Chain A
Amino acid sequence: VAVVTLAEAPHLRMVGNLVAGPQAAIDGVDPASLKIGMPLAVTFRRVEDVALPAWVPL
């Protein structure tokens, strides 16, 4: 789980899961590969009838 600052709107932050790709599992990213400050891209995970934003390390 990460707190993410939006590059396009630095005053906004979101909490979301880190994932390897759009439909990847939420435990699929090695925590040792993560660093605070690293760039991420948004994706959306479908859970029942909602889409939750999640974050893919670049």
Chain B
Amino acid sequence: MSLLKDRAAIVGIGQTAFGKALDGTEEALAVAAIKAALDDAGIAPRQVDGLVSFSIEETQPDAVARDLGMGDIGFLAMTPGGGGGACAQIGLGAMAIALGQAEVVVAWRSRKRSAHASRPWAGTQPRVRGREMWIRPSGLIRPVDEIAMLGRRHMALYGTTRDHFANVALAVRAHANRNPLALMGDRMLTREDYFAARAISEPLGLFDCCLETDGAVAAVLTSAERARDSRQKPAYINAFGQGISEGSMSMSNYFGPDPLRGQSWACAEALWRHSDFGPRDVACAQIYDAFTPEVIFSLEGYGFCARGEGGDFTADGALGPGGRLPVNTSGGSLSEAYIHGFNLVSEGVRQIRGTSTSQVPEPHCVFVSSSDGVPTSAILLRS
């Protein structure tokens, strides 16, 4: 049995504008998004008693508490990430609430990564050490290079094609075209555009890659009891999982026993174990999409289809509006904004509320995942 199931809910979400070269520091963006989420929930900053953050988040919890005028904080957690961390923040917050360690928990992610110089690989040194010396010298420098290698292997083993990757990019863009707040909201993308775009790291091209974005997103969680009286329809956390797959390595997962058994596989075990739902019950999925192959890997890892069938699963508009499993209905990392997947969490909440711009008809169960490529996490939201 699970002590977590449906005991906590997301009752507030907030975000800044998404864009390039936004004004203000990452801290200012974080504070603005958190304030928006608290206002959405109708909860005053002084009622917050728990803060959950990413390990690579620049804005420290005490700064958030000071800037927003919070009182004493009694629960703090920090999760690895990066791209694996957004769902873990929600899950850890829900656990703290379920155990009575906190009553109102805030989680957030703020990034200013639209400038080239702000990206970690821009600082790659001429001489690398440790694990990197086995990978970087041959030219696998950026995250896209590391995932491209795994994408190529999926193509070779299972007959996956660039048309399948394009299916992901086009479906997510079609959702973004319904979302006026998405960075690519008013930009159409055709299959011809996809194939005409420049290669970034073969077999991946420009439209296989997420945006680089300035912006912040935040969420407010509270107990199921308190959520019943909340201003917004609660999105209950039905299940939560985290995962590192046996023998795997973050991003360059080439050296373990099974390179295509990404982090999703371990996380899936933890997620579905205590849930009332299975993959077939999911009304829509918000799947971490820094690169299109990650969506295909995650569809397999979480059991939406069998191993090797992720490419075929994307056919016939399955992931787009009105499809069998609409994916990334706000436009995701590929076409809305890249906030390390935290915007996937807020879109999951909008689906539960019925306020998505690409709304599914019966959103009883919404799946949200973080990156397949790094120590990861996933949640199931229920209405």
Partners in one complex: yes
The chain A residues found within 8 Å of chain B, CB to CB, are 1, 3, 13-17, 26, 31, 36, 47, 52, 54
Q: Which residue of A lies closest to B155 (CB)?
A: A36
B180 at the binding interface (Cβ < 8 Å) = no
- B156 to A15, Cβ gap below 8 A? no
Whether the Cβ atoms of B139 and A3 lie closer than 8 Å is no
The contact of A15 among B140, B152, B153, by CB within 8 Å, is B140
Q: What are the residues of chain B within 8 A of A36 when measuring CB–CB? A: 152-153, 156
Nearest Cβ in chain B — how far from A50, in angstroms? 8
The verdict on A3 contacting B254 (CB below 8 Å), with A15-B135, A17-B138, A36-B156 known, is yes
Which residues of B does A touch, CB under 8 Å? 134-135, 137-140, 145, 149, 152-153, 156, 202, 252, 254-255, 259
Known contacts A31-B202, A36-B156; A1/B139 CB under 8 A: yes
A15 to B145, CA, bound (A): 12
Q: A31-B202, A36-B153, A36-B156 are in contact. Are A13 and B137 (CB under 8 A)?
A: no
Main secondary structure on A side of the interface with B: strand
Report chain B residues within 8 Å CB of A1: 138-140, 145, 149
Q: A15-B252, A36-B153, A36-B156 are in contact. Are A52 and B138 (CB under 8 A)?
A: yes
With A1-B139, A1-B149 as known contacts, state yes or no: A15 contacts B254, CB within 8 Å. Answer: yes
Q: Given the complex, which residues of B lie within 8 Å of A3, measured CB to CB?
A: 149, 153, 254, 259
Q: Among the interface residues B145, B252, B255, which one has the most CB atoms of the partner chain A within 10 A?
A: B255
With A1-B149, A3-B149, A36-B153 already in contact, the answer to whether A15 and B202 are too (CB < 8 A) is no
Residue of A nearest to B252 (CB): A15
Q: Which residues of chain B are near A52, meaning CB under 8 Å?
A: 137-138
Q: How far is the CA of A31 from the CA of B201 in the complex (A)?
A: 13
With a cutoff of 8 Å between Cβ atoms, the chain B residues found around residue A16 in the complex are 138
Whole-angstrom distance between the Cβ of A51 and the nearest chain B Cβ:
11
18 A-B residue contacts at CB 8 Å?
A1-B138, A1-B145, A1-B149, A3-B149, A3-B153, A3-B254, A3-B259, A13-B255, A14-B134, A15-B138, A15-B252, A15-B254, A16-B138, A17-B139, A26-B139, A47-B137, A52-B138, A54-B138
Which residue on A lies nearest to B156, using beta carbons?
Answer: A36
The docked-state distance in angstroms from the alpha carbon of A1 to that of B145 is: 10
Contact partners of B255 in chain A: CB under 8 A: 13
Other than the given A1-B145, A17-B139, A26-B139, 15 more pairs (CB < 8 A) read A1-B140, A1-B149, A3-B153, A3-B259, A15-B138, A15-B140, A15-B252, A16-B138, A17-B138, A26-B138, A31-B202, A36-B152, A36-B153, A36-B156, A47-B137
